[in-house]
Amino acid sequence: MMEQNVRPVVLAPVLMFYEPMRKIIHIDMDAFYASIEQRDNPELRGKPVAVGSAAKRGVVAAASYEARVFGVRSAMPSATAQRKCPELLFVPPRFDVYRAVSKEIQEIFHAYTPLVEPLSLDEAYLDVTENLRGIPTASETAAEIRARILEQTGLTASAGVSYNKFLAKLASDQKKPNGQFVVTPNQGPGFVEGLPVERFHGVGPVTAEKMRALGIHTGTDLKRQTLAFLEEHFGKSGAWYYGIARGKDSRAVVPNRERKSSGSETTFSDDLFAATDIEAGICAMAEDVWAWCEKTATYGHTVTVKVKYADFRLITRSRTVSMPVATQSKLRELSVALVRTVYPVTVGVRLVGVSVSKLASVDQTIPQLELELLGEE
């Protein structure tokens, strides 16, 4: 028997790339506009409130949870809302206040991750896969963020936690108000199957009606359809529906702006009146901000001090200097000088904060400092 020469089969190495499992949080403030009105006016607390106009052709911009019990919803004609809830109290919107509070909340988000994608004044996605605080789980991160929001603004937020944006947003509705819900990778597909298609992002009333006409009522029904079937009936959106029916969403959290400032703030356990106590808090916050400046080699031209009183009134004081604030002592000096402009304190101080803005990198800062030193010689 002839011996056959058998050539060994050499298998080319297969390179497999795995994306790390992402940790996504969707934060949604609870009845944001109405809750701010109830926070700022104690007489409205516990009562059905609508933000908007009671005029004949008015529209409800937002409704408190007390009003929602009666079926009052945002975008509802005011006349309809009043018929549903005769005791409904209308308050005019204060969008400048809502924007200011939203900015406070965004600052809290950025203390945990630079990957923040605001959707509106009252909701945002956060990618906390590598959060700045080193918190091991997204669930713990979300709980801490919600606690800070409540502590600093007096408002509650709900959170959804999952491994993609689609599921995180669905999850944030599960335990409203003031709740938190987690959908793990093992739970994702099953979680979607039991939900009505109206709950899905990208499925509006018209699409939902079309799906029902095709016998698609739940995630399970949607999952039964082939990609070809969905593309035939829904065009380019068919691939999206095919993916979300399986709990899949590859969209990244995309911040829509460069970081323009960095700050730190703290809420005191007791309201402060003494200047020494307030300034100690300011100095501690200035040290936190300076740690960030050193870590990122970024410095600010503008220093801002924030003071919030026990009645939630908020004031800020800022100073802009020609040279970036490139030393810790200078940052502390400017911060203390700014907070002293709010004295005397007649209402207790519950929160103080320090931030830097008009940022410059170390490459921009060093030449400027050298020029300043040359000018002093």
Please identify every residue annotated as catalytic. 123
160 within 8 A of 169, measured Cβ to Cβ? yes
Close Cβ partners of 315 (under 8 Å, ≥ 6 residues apart): 306, 307, 342
Residue 231 CA to chain centroid, in angstroms?
34
Query: Any idea which residue has 């004031």 for tokens?
Result: 315
- Using DSSP, how many helices (H) and how many strands (E) does the chain show? 14, 12
3-class DSSP assignment, residue 221: helix
- CA-only gyration radius of the chain, Å: 26
Name the nearest CA neighbour of 160 among 15, 327, 28.
28
* Number of neighbours of residue 208 by Cβ within 10 angstroms: 17
Tokens for 362, please give them.
């170390």
Question: What residues form DSSP beta bridges with 161?
Answer: 25, 182
Q: Rounded to an integer, what distance in angstroms lies between the CA atom of residue 332 and that of residue 131?
A: 27
State the virtual CA torsion across 181, 187, 190, 191 in degrees, nearest 10. 10
Q: Rounded to an integer, what distance in angstroms lies between the CA atom of residue 212 and that of residue 240?
A: 17
Q: How are beta strands 49-52 and 89-91 bridged, if at all?
A: parallel
159 within 8 A of 137, measured Cβ to Cβ? no
Query: Omega of the bond prior to 86 within 30 degrees of 0, cis?
Result: no
